[in-house]
Structure 1
């Protein structure tokens, strides 16, 4: 059996990089995925202006090593990315001795689906680059 997750969505904030005591660099960012909200008959709901109503879920994405370094360098808030990785569940006891639980996606690969303003404005010739670039 395999623990495999594939998500495509919008980056919610600029990725944050931290370093553990063992000198491992960890890059984390939030990813929003959306799907249309449906009524009890399965029809897509629309608001008063005719736009479809969506359910949005937020995912915590964690990257290590080269993937994390590249994400920190090239990924920014608002970009569309696809993440391939695995689900990881965690539990800990907080400072008030309450048991807490969390879930994150450990990314094995992050593919940029849209480039941010910084990369689009580069003077570097990007004609050799594909639209989708996996890290």
Structure 2
């Protein structure tokens, strides 16, 4: 049996960090994942999927994720239920993430999985193409190609 999910989407709000009575960090946020088709009226639709992270991953998400950030989430689907104040059984389906990858930097310019690291190009902005000003052909021999 297998319960594995991979999602790519944007956070709908800043993550909410809490601690259990035992001191374990837990973060909740919602991921908006576009559907691969449009509605009959031509509008894009999305699913809004609740995500839960635990321990160190929860603290990292709380510190670095913000509303609107593009992320990839790997984890498993969990369905839990509880009885609300009115005595009615409520079912909750959520993704328990064990890996969250930040797919863009805070300034939304480039793909990055390491927050706060330099791109190795001095003061050059992360939004710029590092090869844009070169204009020279790239010399690649047939021996360099893997096929």
Could you say which TM-score interval applies, normalised by the shorter chain?
Answer: 0.7 to 0.9
- Measured against aligned partners, the alpha-carbon deviations of 1:53-85 in whole angstroms (never above 9, x if no partner) come to 212110111000111111111111010000000
CA distance in 1, matches of 2:105, 2:67: 11
3-state DSSP class of the match of 1:71? helix
3-state DSSP class of the match of 2:98? strand
RMSD: 2.1
C-alpha deviation, 1:110, in angstroms: 0.3
The unaligned stretches of length 5 or more in structure 1 are 40-44, 47-52
C-alpha deviation, 1:37, in angstroms: 2.1
The unaligned stretches of length 5 or more in structure 2 are 111-115, 121-125, 127-147
Normalising to structure 2: TM-score of the pair? 0.71
- Higher RCO (C-alpha 8 Å, min separation 6): 1
CA distance in 2, matches of 1:116, 1:12: 15
CA distance in 1, matches of 2:117, 2:87: 55
Contact residue 30 and residue 48 of structure 2 kept, 8 A: yes
Normalising to structure 1: TM-score of the pair? 0.77
